[in-house]
Amino acid sequence: MVPKTVGLIVFEQMAATDLTGPAEAFSRAKIQNGDGSESHCYHVLTLGINAGSFTTECGIVIKPQLVMADAPPLDTLIVPGGNGIPNASNRIAKWLRRKASAARRIVSLGSGIYALAATGLLDRRHVTTHWHVVKDVTLRFPKVQVVPNSLFVKDDRFYTCAGGTSAVDLALSLIEEDCGRQVALKVARELVVHLKRSGEQQQYSEALRFQVQSSDRFVDLPAWILCNLNQDLTVESLAQKACMSPRNFSRLFKAAFGETPADFVARARITEARERLLIPRTSIENVATFVGFKSVDAFSRTFERVVGTRPSTYRG
């Protein structure tokens, strides 16, 4: 196959993760040939807004392969974000207006949306961006329909995302579009991604919220629960892990999280189940077992109580 060319724009004080995350994902995507060899699915190019090197927010120096003016035809064009986007936005937007029609898809990461939205190409489209700039983007670009808190959003050939680690999630989704789910999952495994997340997942996840709420006494417990949903998570078992009596554990847990251990576990299990139900060819029985229910009936009753609908209806 002929590798698809991915162009990543580089500028002073850009976010390094917006560059390195997608670049790593795309560069690792390969397909198996009939003779047993492998072919790269993408050719990744870094495109500087001008000649010279650029220093990222964290101090890494990037030397782009080309300047934007010399860019070849691009399949996918990516605008990263970062503290330097206000100074680079006008130049990037001007270039995008000329190049956008030739690219199959155009992506903005985090605050990179400022440059893309300035072109007018996102008017009347659904987009997302980093939670920190959602309000400002909404005010500056009233014709853009911002979807707050999503990891990434697709509208026709335009893709926008929160940036940071969600840039890897979006890259994996694009790889899946082009090369299939198994190639995307192989890349995710190579990058040691815990879970290939969908765009609908929230930027501020349940797991992170639990950890933020945790006192020092419970600092590791939420993460342990979320990684062991199919284990014995009764109050007695959790209390033993926390080295407390069940009564004292329940009292302190509710004070920390605002709900009982049983309700916390049930909600954590259902949150994970909702993600797994959306994975194609995954049976309800397998999901129920994975998240720790002994029967599909018990799972369905709990799911309906928490979500308001049965698992079979939820997955459509």
> Which one has a higher pLDDT value, 123 or 151?
123
pTM score: 0.74
In a domain, 222, yes or no: yes
> Which one has a higher pLDDT value, 255 or 104?
104
In a domain, 210, yes or no: yes
Which pLDDT score, from 0 to 100, does residue 65 have?
A: 97
In a domain, 154, yes or no: yes
In a domain, 242, yes or no: yes
**pLDDT of 83 strictly over 90:** yes
Instruction: Kindly give the pairing relationship between strand 30-32 and strand 38-40.
Output: antiparallel
148 and 123 in a common domain = yes
Beta bridge partners of 145: 126
149 and 8 in a common domain = yes
173 and 223 in a common domain = no
Look at 50-59, 78-87, 305-314 and tell me which has the smallest mean pLDDT: 305-314
> Which residue matches tokens 């209390």?
239
Beta sheet of 42-48, edge-to-edge order: 66-67, 42-48, 4-10, 76-79, 105-109, 158-161, 152-155
In a domain, 198, yes or no: no
Which pLDDT score, from 0 to 100, does residue 73 have?
A: 94
Confidence label for 194 from pLDDT (cuts 50, 70 and 90): low
Last residue of a domain, one of 190, 220, 244: 190
Residues 27-58 have pLDDT tens digits of 999 998 888 889 999 999 999 999 999 999 99
Q: What percent of the chain has pLDDT over 70?
A: 92
Nearest to 2 by CA among 22, 31, 24, 23: 31
Which pLDDT score, from 0 to 100, does residue 35 have?
A: 86
**Cα radius of gyration rounded to whole Å, the chain:** 22
- CATH number for the domain spanning 237: value is 1.10.10.60
Q: Which residues contact 25 (CB under 8 A, 6 or more apart)?
A: 168, 171, 172, 175, 187, 191
Q: Could you give the 3-state DSSP secondary structure of residue 76?
A: strand
Domain carrying residue 173: 4-190
The total of structural domains in the chain comes to 2
What is the Cα–Cα distance from 228 to 230, expressed in whole angstroms?
5
In a domain, 199, yes or no: no
Which pLDDT score, from 0 to 100, does residue 212 have?
A: 57
In a domain, 114, yes or no: yes
